[in-house]
Structure 1
Amino acid sequence: MTKARAVGRFYGVGVGPGDPELITLKTLRLIKNAPVVSYLVNDQGQSQARNIAVEAFRDVRPGQLEVPIPMTMSTDRRFANQAYDQGAQAIRELLDQGQDVVFLCEGDPLFFGSFAYLLERLEGDYPISVVPGISSVNAASSALAQPLTMLKESFVVINGRAKDEKIRQALTDHDTVVIMKAGQARPRILSLLAETGRSGDAHYLEYIGRDNERILNSISELPNEVGPYFSLFVVIRKERDRG
């Protein structure tokens, strides 16, 4: 009888939106004890996820291996797919050696998370576990001290890269709308907010939970120009449906 091949487990762990203290105890433990930790890095070799998890790296398992996955900021999806293919292959080789691999993901791994792209390349071949993290949506709600939805209110999250029609419909049909990844689309979003009469309901946030956090409760102060990648709009009706 052939003995089953021993392979490692692939973990996707959420490190939260930016504040190092918003990492769960489970994620902290997994990072500290992991034989291999992986994360995305930019063109300068910097990793937002690793920077957020800095406290977890102060006392890690001896000999821990770090596997950075270079990710260009190009808008051409082909480059991103190539990076995920190469990253998945590097992780696959370690898993085949029986090594557990913990992948750090900003926010929550399965909510607009980079982990999802590795998951689709590796699922079915290896055991996989996911540890949820606090998303920027929840962090934004807390920073504003505003509930996202109450009672009969409707709530939707949409990507700023969505077509005008979809964003317009979300703003028209729902009481609360969170528009993620708003940087490149900021001028277009500002126009759609004005068009749908929701400008007065809108809050704008950048780099939530980080040292350079910025919160505007009135978007009249916001320049009509492209903004940073880590930004979002939270649009909450001033007249709330408490019926």
Structure 2
Amino acid sequence: MAQPRILIIEDERGLIQSLTWYFNREGYETLVAHDGVEGLRKAQTMLPDAVLLDLMLPGMSGLDVCRELRAGERTRDMPIVMITARAEETDQVVGFHMGADDYVTKPFSTKILLQRVKALLRRIDGNSDGNEHIEHLGVRIDRVRHRAMIEGAVLDLTPTEFRLLEVLLRQPGRAFSRHQLMDAAIGEGSIVLERTIDVHVKTLRKKLQSAGGPSDLIETVRGVGYRFRESHLETSEASS
């Protein structure tokens, strides 16, 4: 199975550090957001396997984040564990009503939290192949083997190029800003220019084309950033 990807949306820095260390040690890839707006953006952009979501967040509450995720076509089935310092039964009822799958109250045992996350991921294990393999317009990504191919030809990609291609390929037709792609492909907190993404996209396009693919699979969206082509028809029409 591919390394599970967990998004932690929490504003307590100490708790974030503790959870990140623990889940990394247990073989999980961790993503972090410190407020609700950032957390929602990362969930929609990077499509984690599960979300640990604090109820009380700056910018946008955990309940509102949960509501937005459940309303999204690509995020509606995303497992969500609510984390809160409030233990009132009404809070739990509201959390479940908004679509949370589970609920833990601070302070909590990280071991128990891990078991709850594992249980949620097991529920969607029947769809795990779809999480481990992504394929669209002849381009295929294997997350388990960390390998990308086009029409059967293996692409020689750097880790950043692989991550960039994965983000674009998982949501064909969606326009991503350069900032979103920087977060996803290069990593949060990296000090790089937005122009860096342009360089990575240019190189990725060349590698796709050199392996036999069309030159316009990754489309520039003027004033926004980039998106992966949604259909062969769109590609052929653009080429004509």
User: Which category describes the TM-score, using the shorter chain as reference length?
Assistant: under 0.3
TM, length-normalised to structure 1: 0.27
Going by fraction, where is helix more abundant, 1 or 2? 2
TM, length-normalised to structure 2: 0.27
Give the number of the structure whose alpha-carbon radius of gyration is greater.
1
Q: Quick one: higher RCO (CA 8 Å, sep 6+), 1 or 2?
A: 1
